[in-house]
Every structure is written in C-alpha cells, then in structure tokens.
Amino acid sequence: MQGLALLRSNGIETKYILVRINYIATLSLLFIVVAPPLRTIGSYNFLALISLLVWVLTAIMLRPTFFFRPGKLMALNYIFALAFVAISIVTGNIQLLLRFFGVFLLLSIQVMALYYRWFAPWQLERITDHLTMLLFCVSVISLFHVQELPYLIRSIDWLYPEYRLRGVGGYELVYALVLLIPVVVYRLKFRRKGWAHSLYNLAFVGAGSALVISAGFALATAVLMGAVILVLLGPHLSIRVVLRGLVVLLVIVFASSRLLPVIVNLTRGTPYGDTVLALAQFGQENLGAPVGVDGRTLAYTLSLNTFLAHPIGGYVFAERIQLGDFASLHDSVRLGQHSLFLDVLAAYGFFMGALMGYLIFWLPFKLAIINKPILTVTASTIVSLLGVTFLNNDVPAMGFVVYFALSSIYFHPNVSVKSPPPCQKVR
C-alpha cells in the first residue's frame, strides 16, 4: 500500500507511464495468442502469463476498485478460476491446467475488455485495428503457403511446425477469422472511414474468406457463410427472425457433417474435391483415424459418455484423467479433446461447464439484448462462437474478437445505446 501511495504521489506522469505499460501488456498478450511464430516457442504459456501479470499489476495500481470491489461477472470469474485450479490440484489432475490453459487466457481477455469498456472505451477500436492488421498479414502469408500444401493448416502442429516461424497460422487462425470477418463486414457496411479504410476492410474479408475456404474446413466455411449473410441482411431484423435464422443455420451446419461423403462425391474432379480427398487420405495415412464426421463423432461420444457417467462432479473426482492423442484413443483416455464444452463437462461436471458457458457467452448475449442496431453482427458472433466452443478446442484468439472487436462496435459514437453500458451494470 505504501508503494501504491508513493506511485500516486508522483502525479500525472506516473499515471501516464502506468497507462502506457498497461496498454503495451494488453497488446502483448493479444499478439501472443494471435501471432503464429510465438506458438512455436516452448515458453509460449509462460510469455502469455507474464504479459497477463503485468497487465493485472498495472491495472490494480490504476483502478484498484475494479478488482477489489468486483461486480457479479468479475466475482464469477474469480470463483471459476479458483475452483478450476483447486479441483485440479486436489484431485491430482494438474495436467488439466495445461490442457485448459486456453480457457484462462480467453476469460482473462474478457476481463481486460471489461476494464477498457469501463475506463477507456475509446481504446477498444484502436486495439481492434492493431490486431486486425496482424491477422490480415498472417492470413495473406498463410494463404500463399496453403496453395502449395492444401492440408498445411490442419497438420501444421504435427508435421510442419517450421511453417509457424514463416508466419503461417493453424486452426486457431481459421476460427478467429470465422469470428472476425462478420465484424469487419459490419464495419465495412456501416462504419466507413473513407475509401482507403473501406478498401483495406474489403481486402481483409477477401483474404480471410479465401483462407477459410482453401484450408478445407467445411464446418468453418458453413458457419462463416451463415454469419456473413446475417450481417448483410441489415440491422432492422427482429429478434424473432434472427432466432429462426440461427436455428436454420445450426441445422444446416450439423447436417452438412452427415452429408460430407455426398459432398465429396459431388465435388469429385473439382479443385475442392481434390483437396477434400487429399485431406481424407492424409488423415488415414498419418493420423491413424479418419478425417471428418467419423473421427469427430468418436471424440464427441467419448467426452459425452464420460460426462453422463459423472454428471455432477466430473471424472476428476472418480479417477486421475489420462490425456491421449486423438488418433490413439483407448479405454483409459476419458476426454475426446475435440470439444471445449464437452471436455469441461466430462472432466469437471455440469456446474463448472455451465459457469464457463455463462462467462463466455455473457457479453454477446448482453449486447444482443441491449442494442438492436448491432443485433445481426452480434447474432453472427454467437453462431460462430457456438460452433467453435462446442465442436472444437478452445481458441484464445477468439477472445480478442468476441470481447474487443465486438465491443468496439458497441461503443462506436454512431451506435445508439438505449440503456447504460453493461460495464456499469457489472458492479
């Protein structure tokens, strides 16, 4: 407390330094979870943790009440983090802390966004512009290399980690783009700042969409198309129409996986059909498991059965969990490791899974309720987020899109807010 009082006694200059350090720590953490070369570093998690700690310390010095007088959402974040760590340590499943470290990063990014929405909302758009530029560069580089190796993004962590150093992203880049492209489309349609800015946004949408399609992620492509259509339909749709559209889109997404063999046959002989065939052959030869609906179903079923057997407290209280490779699942492996929500439900039970879901989806649902002008872009974010969290592993990079990029639209001067910002209600 004496150190804090000393810092405050130095006046505006010290506060300015702390603000700059806080801002740099924010960009550092977001760059770490987005930039592909950094994921090859063995101390990747350590670097992210250091950036987060620097941000927390400077934020406490600047705004201590934000942490020490928490509102409902902050209190729930505290409870979730403490319970996660305590249960994992007490039950001897410390390896799960590394398995779900991305969840901690995701929720930490949410806390950072809450801080900026409360104290410096004008910085949200600035941070969004910085990270969008980085993702644009990564997308262009990745698109160039994917033309040579169609299955590069799917297998980059297993067979081609050296491509990370060249700036090529993996599946986390694809799903971050699935979330971000609808937001950029909204900005392109309703938030134009001049021809140069519009041209850049158009180039980003083009490069990002081309990468998602070229990478061969059928599910990501379907979700992206539906999300962009929602945004282009305009801000005047009723909630009922949007909800109906969401239901139809989800049905199409899940049906598309069942129709995958039919799609492969229909596209046989085309460039995309060759890509799908190459991915299937690659999976059978190198991963030891089929790529597509069969392999995913195996992983989902494994986690779901584990959850149904231990619905309350999860499997952590029954026996120590072993983590195995997706391609070599055996009886002792209880997590399919292909669905964030199913894995958390299986490992920690219903209450932890429900709490995590509430924390992740609180902001987009809040914006959908409070602000009708951005209903379509918020709905598209919810659709994409549902697809990523239920059908894939945790992607910390999506925290930047959901909590920073989406909030930057909400706090734009041209958006009419009919009720106080959510950050004022969190207290």
> Residue 401: what pLDDT?
85
> Residue 201: what pLDDT?
87
Per the structure, the count of domains in the chain is 1
State pLDDT tens for residues 380-410: 788 778 877 887 776 788 888 889 988 887 7
Residue 295 counted as domain residue: yes
> Residue 15: what pLDDT?
85
Phi, psi (5° rounding) for residue 11? 85, -150
Residue 38 counted as domain residue: no
> Residue 326: what pLDDT?
40
Residue 269 counted as domain residue: yes
Residue 325 counted as domain residue: yes
Exposure letters 196-221 (e unless 16+ CB within 10 A, then b): eeeebbeebbebbbebbbbbbbbbbb
Whole-number Å distance between alpha carbons of 102 and 94: 15
Which stretches within 35-121 are classed as H helix? 44-62, 65-68, 72-90, 95-99, 101-119
Helix (H, G, I), strand (E, B) or coil at 152: helix
Residue 8 counted as domain residue: no
Place of tokens 């350090």: 21
Residue type at 117 in one-letter notation? R
Structure tokens at 425: 């209600």
State pLDDT tens for residues 157-193: 777 888 888 888 887 888 888 888 988 888 887 766 7
Residue 27 counted as domain residue: no
Q: How many CA atoms lie within 13 A of 167 on its CB side?
A: 12
> Residue 58: what pLDDT?
95
Residue 193 counted as domain residue: yes
Residue type at 23 in one-letter notation? Y
Phi, psi (5° rounding) for residue 333? -90, 125
> Residue 5: what pLDDT?
52
> Residue 35: what pLDDT?
79
> Residue 266: what pLDDT?
55
| Full residue range of the structural domain in which residue 99 is found | 69-426
C-beta of residue 25 within 8 angstroms of C-beta of residue 54: yes
> Residue 80: what pLDDT?
92
Which residues does residue 18 pair with via DSSP β-bridges, in sequence order?
A: none
Q: How many CA atoms lie within 13 A of 13 on its CB side?
A: 3
Across the chain, how many H-helices and E-strands are there? 23, 0
Query: What is the reported pTM?
Result: 0.77
The strand ranges marked E within 185-302 are none
Distances (CA, A) of 243 to 220, 233, 427: 20, 14, 30
> Residue 276: what pLDDT?
54
Whole-number Å distance between alpha carbons of 162 and 169: 11
> Residue 167: what pLDDT?
83
Residue 45 counted as domain residue: no
C-alpha gyration radius of the chain = 22
- The segments of the chain whose pLDDT lies below 50 read 1, 4, 6-7, 256-260, 280-293, 324-332, 413-427
Distances (CA, A) of 45 to 35, 248, 312, 322: 13, 39, 30, 21
